Amino acid sequence: MSDSKQTISSNVAILIPLEFSPKVKQILIRKNIYNDELRPKRISQKLALPIDGDFDTLTEDLCREIPDILGDISIEELVLEKNSPKLTPAQLMSANISIWLDGLKHQNNKQILLSYLPQKWELLGDMVLLPTISFKQKEWLELFSHCSETEIYELWGVICDSLNVNRLGRQQPISDDIMRTSQVELLLGQEGWVELLDHGVHFGFDATKVMYSSGNVTERHRIGNINMEGEVVIDAFAGIGYYSLPMLVRSNVKHLHACEINTNSIEGLIWGAKRNEVSQRLTIHEGDNNITLANLKNTSDRCHLGILPSSERVWSLALECLKSEGGWLHIHMNVAEDKIASWVEDTITKLEIITRNIGRQWKIEAKHLEKVKWYSPHTRHVVLDVHCSE
């Protein structure tokens, strides 16, 4: 049998006017009778959407849900091509948006519009966050100016269906305030609370209010893999518990002090602690860590300093928080790729000076440097593990 014969078969489809196709497709998906193994086919000003299963009352149901479609539907047997079995989510989104574009009355340059579609996004539970620039190009803005609210709403629905999620947001630049407030714009969905599971750790937070960096996933796993049994640990920039929760759940710390200034992040942290059943081993210190760290002097075996671009302003406080016998610091920093080696040397020198100034006689050693991710074309987000010992 030739390839072409394998990909073509005779099948049942519902023929509807192009402009109703996104709405009808959503209804077919909801009723579980959309046949996504076959490709929709445009026939003049109509679209044939493949269906299977029980469609006895489909025509009446559609007329009830979309009164304007009355009399313009037929169910027919047609020859349709098989969908490529290996459509990536981005390809599926493009194919479905192409159908949506065909259904619009307003003329549009489909090829250009489709060429701007996002190729990557952030998946947070049942929500997808599109990159900042998505659907903001002048061609898309010009098209939206001719679309009704319903049509735009349908587009967000088409994207959600393609990516198999219920809610859609668009990233806005993370604000430069110290709280790193998230400015996600919710395109589809009522509220921004998301819950996700990462390496056995549950996280929950409002994506429209706080940031979550999926790019730090390897570092979250690495920190969670370090055995901290019996240790008292400080997380000086705890956020929703990006590192605090893996340390509590996986590294098995005895007690964790989480410093955090943003009440929205603390809401997530409290939720995560309950969900992971670690609340008993967690103390949250709300407020500016310039003050809260000062109350934790000589208490800890380890201090985690997870803030970018630099945590240098609290290095002295962090060293003072370690027990008299010393301990560990995990220092996050953005560093130019070609300056990483000299930055490590400088950092150790600075820590040695601070150590002497606070009256400690410790040996300060750089034990490991982790390159977490590219922050910008020449700058890396790195983490330096520093050991302080008598």
Token reading at 6: 């394998």
Preceding peptide of 309 cis, ω within 30°: yes
Residues 132-171 within binding reach of ligand SAM (CB under 6 A): none
What track of x and - describes contact with ligand SAM for positions 229 through 268 (by CB under 6 A)?
A: --------x-x--xx---------------xxxx--x---
Least distance in angstroms from the C-beta of 141 to ligand SAM: 31
Q: Which is nearer to ligand SAM, 148 or 214 (CB)?
A: 214
Q: How far is Cα 309 from Cα 312, in angstroms, rounded to an integer?
A: 9
Q: 142: which DSSP letter?
A: H
| Shortest separation between residue 283's beta carbon and ligand SAM, angstroms | 14
Asked if 213 interacts with ligand SAM (CB under 6 A), we say yes
Q: Which sign does the torsion angle of CA 15, 21, 25, 28 carry?
A: negative
Q: Which of 123, 131, 125 is nearest to 194 (CA)?
A: 125
Q: Which stretch binds ligand SAM (CB under 6 A): 1-9, 22-30, 178-186, 188-196?
A: 178-186
Nearer to ligand SAM, 180 or 281 (CB): 180
Token reading at 224: 């969670």
Residue 43 within binding range of ligand SAM, rule CB under 6 A: no
Which residue lies nearer to ligand SAM by CB, 20 or 205? 205
Q: Which span (8-16, 30-38, 117-125, 173-181) binds ligand SAM, by CB under 6 A? A: 173-181
Give the HSE-up count for residue 325: Cα atoms under 13 Å, Cβ half-sphere.
Answer: 3
Each residue 298-337 as x (binds ligand SAM by CB under 6 A) or -, in order, gives --------xx------------------------------
Residue closer to ligand SAM, measured from CB, 234 or 278? 234
Closest CB 305 distance from ligand SAM, rounded Å = 9
Query: E-strand spans in the chain?
Result: 8-17, 41-43, 46-50, 74-81, 122-124, 127-130, 167-170, 185-188, 193-198, 201-206, 232-235, 255-260, 282-286, 302-305, 326-336, 363-376, 379-389
CB 358 within 8 A of CB 387: no
Q: Is 179 in the site for ligand SAM (CB under 6 A)?
A: yes
Nearest C-alpha neighbor of 196 from the set 122, 277, 284: 122
Per CB under 6 A, residues contacting ligand SAM are 178-180, 213, 216, 237, 239, 242-243, 259-262, 265, 288-289, 306-307
